[in-house]
Structure formats: structure tokens, C-alpha cells
Amino acid sequence: MPNLKAFAGVARAPFLLLPVTLIAAGAAAAFYGGAFSWWSTLLALIGLVALHMAVNIFNEWSDMRTGIDLATERTPFSGGSGTLPAGGMSLRAALLFGIACSAVGLAVGLYFVGRVGPVLLPIMVAGAICVLIYTEVLARLGIGEVAAGLGLGGLPVVGAALVNSGEIGAAAVAAGVPASFMTFNLLLLNEFPDEAADRAGGRKNLVLLFGRRPAAWIWAAAAAATPLSIVVAVAMSVLPPLALAACLPSLLLAAPMRWVVSDPMQPVPIPAMGANVTWNLATNTVLAIALVGAALL
């Protein structure tokens, strides 16, 4: 029987801080608008973590089944956990684990639809699509990064605010925009080391569709758009001036930007990949703190 380490491995436990920061940003946007519920926030967190786990598990399951996992060169941020190739868990157990996590996320979503109303349905459907067909369909159509950015980035922020306030507020949408760009970029940069394995496994991501150099500049454009979207939202008085502090984590992107400008044909440096992850988590977190701070001041 798989042990706890195997379950944590296929769920990619180290990456589950992302949904925590997304829920924090969405709940903070609701708090900024005058509405907040600990119960709704906690339940939304459970649902989103379960969905992120499901995506990771199905991805590991598919990569092992198609042989991608056996051909990747693993880094701390890409190439899978190595749990299934090492025999830590069977394919069947991984599939059942993914289905169980999906069921938890679906149950939470249905609860909120019943409580908040049909306004939540589009967000719930988008999340379900990202979980159920991301690996086998979306990642093979060249839209995996966009789907992840929206379904596992921006929309959860909006959804977290919605289940707290009962409405889609402008601040929630504004907080969701940078989250979309960053989740998009989180996936995109981590695809570079897996280029050869993904090609052999039949995937069609931006690196394979456009080539390394254009894909690297797409990453850079999305990185630049992240703080710009915050500045625009503040200029439009949608977000408070304190939210500008969320632009500061973009300074962490010096390493990946150097790689883009110098030679993206070379492997992505591990520190650059780490900076990409830290930037994502830090920006969502600082934005959440800024929104709460602005509401209290």
C-alpha cells in the first residue's frame, strides 16, 4: 500500500502553497469590499487545494502512462515527482486518488452553487474542465497554459471573493488578473526542461508550438503584464494604492529575465525557476495583505 510520502509526491505537495495564496487574495478582495467569512474561506481553500491536487495527480498518472515521466530530466520544479516511476504507487492507486480529490473539489463547488447561486457555475465549470481534461486534452491542443492561468489562477481568486461576498466585485477581478498571468507563467517556464519528453509524448505546449526563444519572450511579456495590471487597477481606483506593494516581488524575476535576454536556447537555470515560483506566491500574498491593510486603515 502506498505510504504518505507517495501520496504527497503525486499530489506535488510542495506546490500546494499556490492555491493557499490564491484563496488569500480572493478572500482579501472580499474583505476589502466589506464581506468576509472564515467558514467560506476555509471551505473554498479545501476545495481548491483538492482540485490542484487532482490536476497534479492526473498529470503524474498520464505522464507515467504515456512514458513522458520516464524520459524527463527532473528538476525541483519540473519533470514530475518521480513517485510512479520509482514504484511508490501504482497507476490504479494514483487514478483513484485523483478521482477522490476531484470528488472533494466537486462537492465543495456544488455546496457553494447551492448557497451562492448560479453566478458561481461558470467558475465551477471552468475549474472542472481544467481538472478533468487538462492533461489529456488541453495540454495537447496548445491551450494548456491559458487554461491553467484562468482555471487554476485568476478564476479561483474571483471565486474565493464570490463565495465570501455573494457577488463578483471589481477588486476581485483586478486581483485575479495578475494571478492569471503568474499561473500561466508558472506552467510555461517549467515546460522548458521537459521539451523533448513532451514532444515525444504528444503534447502541444507553447514551447513546442513556437520554439524556445518566442516562448521565452511570451513568458517575459506575461511577467511584465503582472505588475502593470496592478498599476492599472490602482490608477482606475479599483485597487487601493497600498496594492502597489504587490509589484515589488517582480524584482525577483531578475534571474529568469537574464535567461530570456541572454540565451533561452540554454537550459533554464534552477535559481530562475525557483524565482518564478517565489514571485508567484509572494505577489499573491503581498496583494492579500495590502487589501486587508487598506480595509483596516
Identify the structural domains of the chain with CATH numbers, from first to last.
4-296 (1.10.600)
Q: Is the pLDDT of residue 129 over 80?
A: yes
This prediction has a pTM of 0.94
pLDDT score for 1: 62
Residue 133 pLDDT grade (very low, low, confident, very high; cuts 50, 70, 90):
confident
pLDDT score for 102: 93
DSSP 80: -
User: For residue 163, which of 113, 127, 128 has the smallest C-alpha distance?
Assistant: 113
Residue 272: alpha-carbon gap to chain centroid: 18
The number of beta carbons lying within 10 Å of the beta carbon of residue 90 is 14
Q: Is the pLDDT of residue 82 over 90?
A: no
Cell 529575465, residue located: 257
User: For residue 284, which of 26, 10, 25, 23 has the smallest C-alpha distance?
Assistant: 25
How does pLDDT run across 31-45, given as a tens digit for each residue?
999 999 999 999 999
